[in-house]
Structure 1
Amino acid sequence: MGKHAHKEHSGDRLIEEAGHAIVKAGEQWTAMREDVFRALAAQSRPASAYDIAEQVGAMRGKRVAANSVYRILDLFVRTNLANRIESANAYIVNSHPGCRHDCIFLICDDCGLADHLDDDSLTGALREAGTSAGFTQVRPVVELRGLCAECSG
């Protein structure tokens, strides 16, 4: 298996791909969902629901409840539009929303940068280990913490 090849998107093309992916998943691409996705896509680091609610509120000119943003972000995770960084209780946009696979996140303890790498052989082995232990619907969540090249150099 090894490395996983996929098409990364950005800007308006990423927004368009996200809309297609959520509709394909049987959900609606509402104006609020698009605003939340745009706000998340604009972040350079993983963002909390509160950060996104604040940004969407500023965009819309009225307060947006963090609870409604949480629900949308959870929908994005379920439909592969975003990933949740478990250790930081934060979210990061999936730049390849039509591609479902398990990411391995690399998170900088200093600046908060979150990058990902794809290694299907490694995540496949984790799935297999979980299945061998009697689990079903195994979903690897792998986060590696350390210092990014910028912070360690």
Structure 2
Amino acid sequence: MAKHDHHVHGSPDLKEAARDRLTGRGEQWTGMREAVFDALAGFDRPASAYDIAEAVSNAQGRRVAANSVYRILDLFVGTNLAMRVESANAYVANAHPGCLHDCIFLICDHCGQAKHLDDDSIADNVRKVAEKSGFAPSRPVIEVRGTCEDCN
């Protein structure tokens, strides 16, 4: 993947970009999907499906099941609206849903923040090493745990 600039969307723009990406993939932007995306985008750190279900339940004044949220999150990951932080079984909204990259996360063990980086050279090297060993990588996910700048 070539190096390029991203337009990092702010809150209203991000929701519009997410809706456009989802509908451009032939999916519907339903009220529940919008509520899940709003909740996900409202977290300042990776959020679990249970965190998101609770936020949506509170916003709507009715109970929303986590399994419904999981299905929507799977759709969001598949359409690049969200990224999964594997080690935390949690999700973050993708700030640039129109760009496809392998995930590189820097995760703070103190505050729980996860910073997403786009450096295709790192992921490309991981792919090459995997291929040399006879493995066909489909989706490298790189997570680096440590201490963020704020907690350091």
Bin the TM-score by the shorter chain: over 0.9
Contact 2:130 2:137 in 1 (8 A): no
Counterparts of residues 67-146 of structure 1 (less than 5 Å): 67-136=67-136, 138-146=138-146
1:2 offset after TM fit, Å?
7.6
Q: Which has the higher contact order (CA 8 A, sep 6+)?
A: 1
In the other structure, the counterpart of 2:62 is: 62
Deviating beyond 6 angstroms after TM superposition, the runs of 4 or more aligned structure 1 residues are none
Deviates most, 2-11 or 36-45: 2-11
CA distance in 2, matches of 1:142, 1:116: 10
The amino acid of 2:130's aligned partner reads G
Deviation per CA, 1:18-77: give whole Å up to 9, x if none: 000011122111110011000000000100000000010111110000000011011111
Give me the CA root mean square deviation: 1.5
In the other structure, the counterpart of 2:5 is: 5
What SS does the aligned partner of 2:144 have?
A: strand
In the other structure, the counterpart of 2:24 is: 24
Contact 1:2 1:119 in 2 (8 A): no
Deviation per CA, 1:93-138: give whole Å up to 9, x if none: 0000011111210000000011021111111111222333334452
CA distance in 2, matches of 1:135, 1:22: 31
CA distance in 2, matches of 1:122, 1:137: 14
In the other structure, the counterpart of 2:147 is: 147
What SS does the aligned partner of 2:150 have?
A: helix
The amino acid of 1:62's aligned partner reads R
What SS does the aligned partner of 2:8 have?
A: coil
CA distance in 2, matches of 1:26, 1:137: 27
Unaligned runs of 5+ in 2: none
Q: Report the count of equivalent residues.
A: 152
TM-score, structure 2 as length reference: 0.94
Structure 1 87/33 Cα, relative in aligned 2: closer, same or farther at 3 Å?
A: same
* Residue 45 (1) aligns with residue 45 (2): yes
Unaligned runs of 5+ in 1: none
- How many percent of aligned residue pairs carry the same amino acid? 61
